[in-house]
Structure formats: C-alpha cells, structure tokens
Amino acid sequence: MPLFDKAAGKPRNLTHRELADLIAWPDAKALFAAAYAVKVRETGKKVSFRGLIEAGNICEKDCYYCGIRKSNANVNRYRMDAGEIVREAEWAFKAGYGSLVIQSGELTGAANAAFFEDVLGRIHAFGGDAFGVTLSLGEQTEETYRRWREAGAHRYLLRIETSNRELYAKLHPHDHSWEARRDCLRALRRCGYQVGTGVMCGLPGQTFDDLASDIEFFAAEDVDMIGMGPYIPHADTPLGKDAEWTAEKQKERFELGLRMIAATRLYLHDVNIAAATALQALDPEGREKGLLAGANVVMPNITDTRFRADYQLYANKPCLDENSTLCRECLKRRIASTGEEILWNRRGDSPHFGKKNAK
C-alpha cells in the first residue's frame, strides 16, 4: 500500500489528512500488519515488562471520566505505606521484570514529594540504575520532578488525554488546565526523564482528525513513550453515568485503540508504546492484539489484590483477584503465543530516547 510504504519509509512522513486516513484505514488487519513490521524493525520481536504498583487512589483532581475522581463518594480510599511499595518493587526486581511503574491519584505538596523521594531512594538502594522506574503521579512542580529524578526515577508518564483544548475543557472542571499539563511534559524533559504521554480513544465528540492531531502532538513534544487506550465509561462519573455501552460500542472502541497503536507506530517508529490493560478489559486477548498492532510494552499489575478493586479508573478492570505470581505466569504464556520474547531483567528504555542521547 503506498500510504503504508510512505509512513514506514521514515518517521513523521505523513500529512495531517494522510494520518487521519491511516487511523481510519478500511482494512484494519493490513494496518496492524504494516505497523507490526515497523515495530519489529525498530524494537525487534521483544516485549518489555513494567510491574505496575497502584500506590493510592486519593486524588486532588476531579476529571469527569475517572473512577477515582475526588468527588466520587463510592470509592474506598487508600494510600499504601512506603514499606509496602518498596516490597512490591523488590518482588518485581527479583521476578526479572527489569522495570517498574508507580502510579497513583494526583497529589501535590511537600509531604507527597518527600514520601515518593524516600520510596525512590529505597528502591534505588537494591535496584540501582539497572532497574528502570517509571512514575505516573500527575502534575507536579518542576522542583518535585527534579527531586524524584535525582532520587532514582528514569521515566515519567503524564497523559494529556486529548490534544484538543476544547474537548479537554469538556472532560475537566474549569480549574484544570490543558496548558499546565502540557507545560509539565516540558518540565519533565528539562529534568532529564524519558517522557511519556497518551490519550483516550473514542471520547464523546472525538473525531479522526482529533486523533491524528493527538499523534502529531506526540511528535511535536518529542515524547519517548506512549501510554494510551480506549475510553471505557465508569458509571460513577459525570461522563459515564448515562453512557450507552453496547457490545457493538465495546468492539468499536477496542478496534480504535488498536488503530491508534498502529498509526502511532507507523508515524513515530522508535518510541515505546504500551499495550494498555484497558484493551484487555474489552477483549480477553487485548494486550496480545495490542502487541501485534505495534506495541512493545506490557504493564503487569503487581499491586496487592486487596487494593485492586479500589483502583478502577474505568469499568470492568481485569485481573482484580489475580496475584502477582499468577499474573506473571499467565502473561508469559500469552506473550509466547504471539511469537514475541519478553526482555527479562532489562530496563527496556525507549530507542527514541537513546538516539537523542547519542546525538
């Protein structure tokens, strides 16, 4: 296909219209195959694991789509203590994951900064720089980002959710700022992180043009890793309480998530792209299909099962009762079935970030 060949030839090689057409390509299987070929060329048939720790669901934000928004009174709030986070991190290190993600609701302030600075220092004491640590802790001051980077964090994921400012305003209260979130991505770059962002796919009112602009936003901000997934309504949120959610809607939303993985791979080539857990919420083989559409990162949940039901950003989150060991063995089998190889005991850094550093 000429459009596939043009996209695969070099990164960022499509017009906006061509990129939108790529996302909406009528033959999804051909789109996924073209993206997978670029993924294999750029990163090999390799999958990096990131052990996911959901450290707490207390949040200062009130996003209209999120199940742990601060106004949701139906959530049992929790915050793991530092020792528990470190124990789970050490389990991931010994299990050969090579990398970790610490995620929580968004909290700011000196106490929160000091808490995670201590956690990072304790993880670095046994893992060193050989054990990759990604943070996903929301909007912070540049000073806080710098302290966490110096304490041992390597990567940071802060999803913009949509590059469309008007759509962003419909998803958030008036005191949430798209510009502030974008500026945090730039602060993270200045602090030396591998920077990640992402969007939700299938938001009400979202178009293929919007999604093409999202991928162009990734390019413009020169991000190193992408974490995105299909929008899944949550009944305890303003956006999701009356949402129509049929089997057909679920199927369409799942395919759109795969299309965005494929189009992002074809446009950006050498970034890390996660096969999000939200894909598995919509299809039992969602993460495997995400890998075959161009993703190269999977984030197995290693949070203690007693917390998992309380960290539901969207409905029907999978693996709520599957402990870390079971999850590891299950994923080993699933990924082997795709012909991919897990990169045990490797950080799995973004090739894009590596190339920039080499320059």
Count up the domains in the chain and report the number.
1
- Lowest mean pLDDT across 38-42, 147-151, 244-248, 259-263: 244-248
Whether the pLDDT of residue 258 is over 80: the answer is yes
Whether the pLDDT of residue 193 is over 80: the answer is yes
pTM of the model: 0.96
Task: Give residue 146's Cα distance to chain centre.
Answer: 21
Which of the four pLDDT bands, split at 50, 70 and 90, describes residue 56?
very high
**Residue 225: what are its φ and ψ, rounded to 5°?**
-150, 150
pLDDT at 247: 92
- Lowest mean pLDDT across 184-188, 217-221, 247-251, 318-322: 318-322
Domain range for 311:
2-358
Spatial CA neighbour of 328 closest among 347, 314, 342: 342
Q: Is 33 exposed, middle or buried (0-12, 13-18, 19+ CB in 10 A)?
A: middle
Query: What residues contact residue 233 under an 8 Å CB cut-off, 6+ apart?
Result: 65, 239, 240, 243, 245, 314, 315
pLDDT by residue (tens digit) across 111-147?
A: 999 999 999 999 999 999 999 999 999 999 999 999 9
Q: The CATH number of the domain where 252 resides is what?
A: 3.20.20.70
Q: Identity (one letter) of the amino acid at 250?
A: Q
pLDDT at 325: 73
pLDDT by residue (tens digit) across 305-336?
A: 899 889 999 877 777 766 677 678 888 899 99
pLDDT at 331: 84
Whether the pLDDT of residue 283 is over 70: the answer is yes
Average pLDDT over residues 154-160: 98
Whether the pLDDT of residue 359 is over 80: the answer is no
pLDDT at 28: 98
